Structure 1
Amino acid sequence: MEFDYNLFVIGAGSGGLAAAKRAASYGARVAIAESDLVGGTCVIRGCVPKKLMVYGSSFSHVYQDATGYGWRKVKPKFDWGTLVTAVDTEVRRLSNLHISFLEKAGVALISGPGTLVDAHTVQVAEERFTAEKILIAVGGEATKPEIPGIEYALTSREMFHLPKQPRRFAVVGGGYIGVEFAGILNGLGSEVTQIVRGDGILRGFDPDIRKELQTAMGNHGIQFLTHTTVERIEKTSKGLKLFLCPDLEKPLKVDAVLYATGRSPNLVGLGLDLAGVAVVNGAIAVNEYSQTSQPHIFAVGDCTDRKNLTPVAIAEGRAFADTEFGNQRRAINYDNIPTAVFGQPEVGTVGMTETEAQDQFGAENLTIYQARFRPMFHSLTGADEKTLMKLVVDKASDRVVGAHMVGKDAAEIIQSLAIAVKMGATKKDLDATMALHPTAAEEFVTMR
């Protein structure tokens, strides 16, 4: 059978773009379908615009800190519209840049949502295209619980386009997105309350990291309500009322509420059943080579619900293309993937948490190294800021199995340290590394 394309990709996000361009570089005829801006969640309504807003929100602290260094105190004024417009302009620039990359790679971009008609056919709008292989890379979408009034709640999708800054703001959820937006709105001057169902933020992270970040955020003025859920939301002429459990008699009054309680694979309308693609627990089921139950249909990224991070989706997409079109059969190793939370302060982490290491090695077989100190920058500001750095070491091998940090530039520092952890560096290897002074990062090679 003669196909229109060797590869048809549904979804022009991080994983889909990476796979399409890599497959095209091997000589494959490739098309990619996208109904939104090109770039996916990360570029359009995720990592990129969110970090730009983190940068924007950090200036309020800089104005305060500058007085300790001799700068005259000023009263800054922030304009929400300017920031939102600037961020949107940059997002669209990046989207257009990705389109140009596709053109240079020889990948056909087809506008519209792709739907599987059968195992080899994709429909986009009124057109149908056949392909030898199909890759699904449609990502995930924010979810909201079914409670009365949930229609008044925002998700991360809407946060970047609010016409007006909410002066009273609530965040429901304690994960990456909730923590980051709580810090952003707090830094921009909003009154922020973060509502968490469990005992604290960042469930699954190292316990010392969780505690340190939540303490720091509280010191910045964010109010935390733990062991708390929202039972219903009511809209009033003056904003929203959140009725909370266990204290239903005292509703929280806010101007806006963000639900950051989870994301799920974006599979609605894909026609997976028509193509015979199996779904397990709400995600596309794949093997180690991203192959679905249909041998010639593949899936990468958040729609498979493996490790939902942008660099992972990119790596999965490239590995798929190398395997299927480059004669380089390979799978992704999901061990020791570094990650960051761009809260205020920032979190960076790689490898095992202390809890995970205890489960694997036993608490008695670990050595924990930890340093908590005031960063040099704040020696003159008087701010109550601390940096926390932590190493988890297996006693038997002396191998560093986990590295964690809360503080300025944590993500940048952990990215470099992740190389050492991935290579199996020992504590002695870190000890033998000469410190770069004066830096915060040197603490990782001077801890005792």
Structure 2
Amino acid sequence: MKEYDVIVLGGGPAGGAVAAPLADAGRRVAMIEADAFGGVCPLRGCNPKKVLLAGAEAAHMAGSMLGTGLTGSMAIDWSALMRFTRSFVDPVPERARAAYADKGIDTFLGRAAFVDPHVVEVQDNRLTAKVICVCVGLEPSPLPVPGAEAMPVSDDFLSMESLPRRALFIGGGFIAFELAHIAHHAGSEVTLLNRSDRVLRRFDPMLADDLIRASRDIGIDVRLDAPVRSVERIGEGWRVRAGNNVPIDFDADMAFNCTGRRPAIDRLNLDAAGVEFGPLGIAVNNRMQSVSNPHVYAVGDVADQGAALTPVATIQGQTAVANILNPSSATVNYSGIPSVCFTLPPLAGVGLLEEEARERGLSFTVRETDLSAAFSWKRLNQSYARARVLIDESGDRILGAHILGHNAEEMINLFALAIRNEIPLSRLRDTVWAYPTCGYQVKYMV
């Protein structure tokens, strides 16, 4: 039996946010990773997706400028782009493991399971610690329809050696939309199926509808109210039957289940540790402690609170570390955390949605701005660009901001700064912005 002060289950951003500062503080730390050190974000999520998006962004910008002085065509070499992507991804596991070793953290590769509230088992090793922190993240959710058991998921798309001529994505969240846009701009014929008439529920519904129109305008076949009925392997391709009253068959060379992810907790044997959990993950308090076992913490996507975002995992990890070092010293502040759907154009939001503000009975106005008519978007010939900002005049504050269009992913950080740090609306209006920039438009958005 090996003894530690803290055992961290998971070697991704959440696990790193806990393990590294605890090791720096002199604690004896062990980290157990089931797959590869680095986690989903740098290996099978944010980072490879953004590298692939670089080619799509270039193609999108060039396409928008055709007829305004730009001629010719641009094509993506998928194999070359994938090699470039792997140059970011492949070195991560060994570098991450080496970085933890340099801090004196013992690392173990394998699936961990609780034996009792203070003991976990991995391979042939049993480890014990006063505190155990679960940071194992999410895994793709199965699609509960006949034939879908072996469907590829987003992980598979991000490691494809060749691009399918026809690609189909099932889901209406940011993963489905992002991959659909990448595939389209890389040259695939793309279909996206969503079971309801509402997509991207984390984002402003009006701007989400704009994004649907923008997607259709470039040739992505977005089908709403199209629940999947069955999935069938047809030769080297796939046939997906979807729809309500009269289902339609959609054929594709590759079809991807992008309907969501679930907490990766099935094999942890949490019952042996007395840890309460549910469909959203491990039940935790605002100090990131298990509500049923205070010696166990859960951080990142596996916890049942906070959005499934890497920056959220970071602040949750900081909170857990503070409480492990000094019990009951810190709670998580979820104010002003932005979300981005990296489509083309991108969709971003921070703070309250309009429906959330109304449910809280808040007094506010919505200031809507057609950014496509503003210089910084018009010069790029961008047809889809709009902002909706929720303003509380009497409280001198911004309640929420939602942006669709070029550079939305950067502009939203300005509003995140204002909301999280409670910068008065009047101070934003008094700010002098550089011109001509996208940020300059903030003075008209507030």
TM-score (norm 1): 0.93
SS of aligned partner of 1:253: strand
SS of aligned partner of 2:35: coil
Say if 2:333 is the partner of 1:333: yes
What is the aligned partner in structure 1 of residue 368 from structure 2? 370
Deviation sequence 1:159-213 (CA, Å, 0-9, x none): 1222321111111111111111111111111111111122132124212221222
- Residue 317 of structure 1 and its aligned partner are, at CA, apart by 1.3
Residues 324-333 or 342-351, more deviating: 324-333
- Residue 347 of structure 1 and its aligned partner are, at CA, apart by 1.6
Deviation sequence 1:365-408 (CA, Å, 0-9, x none): 32111111326466466x45232122101243131101111111
Residues 38-47 or 81-90, more deviating: 81-90
Letter in 1 for 2:346: E
What is the aligned partner in structure 2 of residue 28 from structure 1? 27
SS of aligned partner of 1:345: coil
What is the aligned partner in structure 1 of residue 212 from structure 2? 214
Q: Percent identity?
A: 31
Distance 2:415 2:247 in 1: 49
What is the aligned partner in structure 1 of residue 228 from structure 2? 230
Asked whether the 8 Å contact 1:12–1:137 carries over to 2, the reply is: yes
Q: How does 1:38-437 map to 2 (within 5 A)?
A: 38-65=37-64, 67=66, 70-71=69-70, 73-237=71-235, 239-246=237-244, 248=246, 250-281=248-279, 283-292=281-290, 293-307=292-306, 308-325=308-325, 329-361=329-361, 365-374=363-372, 376=375, 379=378, 383=381, 385-437=383-435
Letter in 2 for 1:21: A
- Residue 288 of structure 1 and its aligned partner are, at CA, apart by 1.5
- Residue 43 of structure 1 and its aligned partner are, at CA, apart by 1.1
Letter in 1 for 2:415: L
Distance of aligned partners of 1:128 and 1:238 in 2 relative to their CA distance in 1, 3 Å threshold = closer
Distance 1:296 1:26 in 2: 19
Distance 1:420 1:380 in 2: 28
- Residue 336 of structure 1 and its aligned partner are, at CA, apart by 2.3
Distance 1:236 1:280 in 2: 37
SS of aligned partner of 1:4: strand
What is the aligned partner in structure 2 of residue 8 from structure 1? 7
Distance 1:5 1:252 in 2: 54
Distance of aligned partners of 1:66 and 1:213 in 2 relative to their CA distance in 1, 3 Å threshold = closer
Letter in 2 for 1:12: G
Letter in 1 for 2:349: T
Distance 2:303 2:120 in 1: 19
- Residue 423 of structure 1 and its aligned partner are, at CA, apart by 2.3
SS of aligned partner of 2:348: strand
Distance of aligned partners of 1:179 and 1:322 in 2 relative to their CA distance in 1, 3 Å threshold = same
TM-score (norm 2): 0.93
Letter in 1 for 2:273: A
Asked whether the 8 Å contact 1:197–1:227 carries over to 2, the reply is: yes
SS of aligned partner of 1:435: coil
Deviation sequence 1:410-439 (CA, Å, 0-9, x none): 111111221111222343222211232112
Distance 2:63 2:214 in 1: 17
- Give 5+ residue unaligned stretches, structure 2: none
Distance 1:398 1:377 in 2: 28
- Residue 271 of structure 1 and its aligned partner are, at CA, apart by 1.6
Asked whether the 8 Å contact 1:28–1:325 carries over to 2, the reply is: no
Count of matched residue pairs: 443
Deviation sequence 1:58-93 (CA, Å, 0-9, x none): 22224435555645x334443222222321231122
- Residue 125 of structure 1 and its aligned partner are, at CA, apart by 0.5
- Residue 31 of structure 1 and its aligned partner are, at CA, apart by 0.9
Residues 296-305 or 241-250, more deviating: 241-250
Residues 334-343 or 247-256, more deviating: 247-256
Structure 1 moving runs of 4+ over 4 Å:
65-71, 377-381
Asked whether the 8 Å contact 1:152–1:235 carries over to 2, the reply is: no
Letter in 2 for 1:90: F
Letter in 2 for 1:10: L
Distance 1:200 1:440 in 2: 29
Letter in 1 for 2:78: W
Distance 2:272 2:232 in 1: 41
Distance 2:73 2:54 in 1: 19
- Residue 327 of structure 1 and its aligned partner are, at CA, apart by 6.6
Asked whether the 8 Å contact 1:371–1:443 carries over to 2, the reply is: no
Distance of aligned partners of 1:317 and 1:124 in 2 relative to their CA distance in 1, 3 Å threshold = same
- Residue 266 of structure 1 and its aligned partner are, at CA, apart by 0.4
